[in-house]
Amino acid sequence: MARRAALLLSTLAKMSFQEALTRAREISEHRIARALEGVDLPVAEAMRYAVTGGKGLRGFLVIEGARLHGVADATEAAAAIEAVHAYSLVHDDMPCMDDDDLRRGQPTVHRKWDEATAVLAGDALQSLAFELLAEAKCSAEARIGLIRSFAVAAGVRGMVGGQAMDIAAETAKTPLTLEEITRLQAGKTGALITWSAIAGPMMAGADVTPLRTYGDALGLAFQIADDILDVEGDQDTVGKALRKDDAAGKATFVSLLGLEGAKRRANELVTDACDALSPYGEAATVLRDAARFVIDRKK
């Protein structure tokens, strides 16, 4: 078993960023599909649909962070974060929230099925994520830490709290300040990205500080890049409706910093993220490439 794990870690270390990203996405999608085997219901089909076709960045971060700490199999943790991310998108797309018809260039779940199926698919993906984490291949103590931190990152102190702040901003009398929108996005987008980065060292019982710093910077850079794409992106390439925040008069990093200022800030955050990886040397090359990908992507 130890020899097999060492071989797998060696193979992972030789992959390019795109190869590692593709592999991580396939691992997560396959594990979720396996968990749903034998469930012949429309809601299960909607769940499989919701987790297919994304970038798989969060699962990639889990697997790479684990590899850096000698953990060869982080499949369940990677699949768990992708399941929760998919659930958040399914619910976010619904009429009561962002009311979107397209996600990843395809009809959103509530459009392809119906609103009730979308609610249930999201609920079930969230439940499945905790089921998967309970099977994570690490010590019982590390597993409990993973589950607790995951619940915090996904809940009112993390993603859900950020989403609630975002909804409140839509009817606020004055646009959010830069400090307020940074705090909002640290929850809505950043909390799950940071958890993805630190899951690996948590599984290994190692210091999470370098990858927490990396994840915090990466999450904010990711959201700034999203705001830039909302202005400069092509809807067919991005795969969802654009310029909705501007039409609604909501503050974004672009509206507050200007387009060039937002790009400078995103680049500064990528530098911070890469600097945080210095303890790992060349072993963290693909994570540095991931940071650059976050602000160079077209969708």
All structural domains of the chain, each given as residue ranges with its CATH number in brackets, are 2-296 (1.10.600.10)
Residues 6 or more apart in contact with residue 197 via CB below 8 angstroms? 61, 65, 211, 212, 214, 215, 218
Reading the block at residue 219, the tokens are 């999450």
Residue 103: strand, helix, or coil: strand
pTM of the model: 0.94
How do residues 211-269 score in pLDDT, each as one tens digit? Answer: 999 999 999 999 999 999 988 877 766 656 666 666 566 789 999 999 999 999 999 99
Give the mean model confidence (pLDDT) for residues 28-56. Answer: 97
Does residue 272 surpass a pLDDT of 70? yes
Q: For residue 67, how far is the Cα from the chain centroid?
A: 18
Backbone CA torsion sign across 35, 11, 199, 224: negative
The percent of residues above 90 in pLDDT, for the chain, comes to: 84
Share of the chain above pLDDT 70, in %: 93
Beta-bridged to residue 106, according to DSSP, are 103
- Confidence class of residue 113 from pLDDT cuts 50, 70 and 90? very high
Backbone angles phi, psi at 106, to 5 degrees: -125, 160
pLDDT digits 0-9 by tens, 63-107: 999 999 999 999 999 999 999 999 999 999 999 999 999 998 899
- Residue with the two structure tokens 């599909």: 33
